[in-house]
């Protein structure tokens, strides 16, 4: 029994958490970065449980580093968005987060929506009626 538990604990996660680079989000406090990381980890675990990463990885395969997402604050953004930046140096998966004065670290639901929009996208009807997955 103990050996089985140890082996299970040693197995890699089916959907590992990518590293997050906060260098472009210097205005985030350490407490906000910890809350950000916790909420993002929970969203990844939920998306993994839903099978969202079966056909598409979270970090774009064209990214130079396959396990890294660069986090950037974008006070003018209306939603959290994940996308591939081909002109980033080097090419990378990026996440823009609407943080600024009076704004909170995104909730788990906000990250789930960002993951959904990045992996699956919205239907034309969702975009038209609700503006789903359409950043300003």
The predicted model scores a pTM of 0.85
- d(CA 133, CA 66) in angstroms, rounded, equals 24
Render pLDDT for 9-46 as a digit per residue (tens, 0 to 9).
444 467 899 999 999 988 888 999 999 999 999 999 99
Tell me phi and psi for residue 38, to 5 degrees.
Answer: -60, -50
| Annotated domain spans of the chain | 16-130
Render pLDDT for 71-123 as a digit per residue (tens, 0 to 9).
998 888 889 999 999 998 899 999 999 887 667 899 999 999 999 999 998 88
- d(CA 19, CA 49) in angstroms, rounded, equals 20
Tokens linked to 134: 């359409």
- d(CA 113, CA 97) in angstroms, rounded, equals 12
């Amino acid at each position: 029994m103990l050996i089985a538990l140890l082996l299970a604990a040693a197995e890699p996660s089916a959907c590992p958490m990518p590293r997050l680079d906060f260098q472009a989000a210097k205005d985030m406090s350490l407490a906000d970065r910890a809350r950000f990381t916790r909420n993002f980890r929970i969203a990844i675990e939920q998306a993994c449980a839903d099978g969202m990463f079966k056909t598409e990885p979270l970090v774009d395969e064209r990214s130079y580093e396959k396990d890294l997402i660069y986090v950037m604050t974008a006070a003018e953004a209306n939603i959290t968005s994940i996308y591939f930046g081909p002109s980033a140096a080097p090419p990378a998966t990026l996440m823009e987060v609407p943080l600024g004065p009076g704004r909170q670290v995104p909730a788990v639901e906000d990250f789930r929506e960002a993951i959904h929009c990045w992996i699956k996208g919205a239907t034309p009807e969702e975009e038209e009626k609700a503006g789903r997955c359409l950043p300003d």
